[in-house]
Amino acid sequence: MWVHGGWALEALSGVSRPHKDIDLLAAEVDRERLRQLFADSLVEEDVHKLTVSFQGAEVEITFFQRDKRGKAYTITPRILARWSERSLGNCTAVLAGREIPIVDVTALYVEVFNTLRKKGDMLDKNRRDQEIVRRLVTPEQEAFARRYFPRPNTRWNRMLLRLGLW
């Protein structure tokens, strides 16, 4: 399981900002175990995530699956997202004095620079986070990350994803 989103960005950059929730990324095969672990605090379950209230904090656990070639992806009601092998590697950062597993900077780049199906408040927050990510990412990492921008969740894009053509 990896931390992504705002807390991962803060852990990697050291730049603090208010957070609405804690974003975690986990494998779909762990869903049942996590559902049982957080049964008393489950707020909502969706096709791609669990939302739990843990000690007063909202935690969103987003799940990824692997295709036949081992490539990781997430299907939400609005978008299809692929995760690079780098994103789900051994990247860690320090938060509150503890080393935590996080997605890598290319995944954070994708999260704050893609605008697909995002609403106004999310776009405003992402604009602030973009300045932080720009200082962390190399031009090579930026070019690599752009290949992983999400696509709309359409039948056509789901078919391309399943066939390994995207």
Distance CA 51, CA 63 (A): 11
Residues of the chain with pLDDT under 50: none
Neighbours of 100 (CB within 10 A): 16
Pairing of strands 42-45, 22-27: unpaired
Give per-residue pLDDT as tens, 122-153. Answer: 888 888 999 999 999 999 999 999 999 999 99
Q: What is the pLDDT of residue 119?
A: 81
DSSP 121: H
Structural domains of the chain, ranges and CATH numbers in brackets: 2-162 (3.30.460.40)
Q: What is the pLDDT of residue 117?
A: 79
Q: pTM of the full predicted structure?
A: 0.92
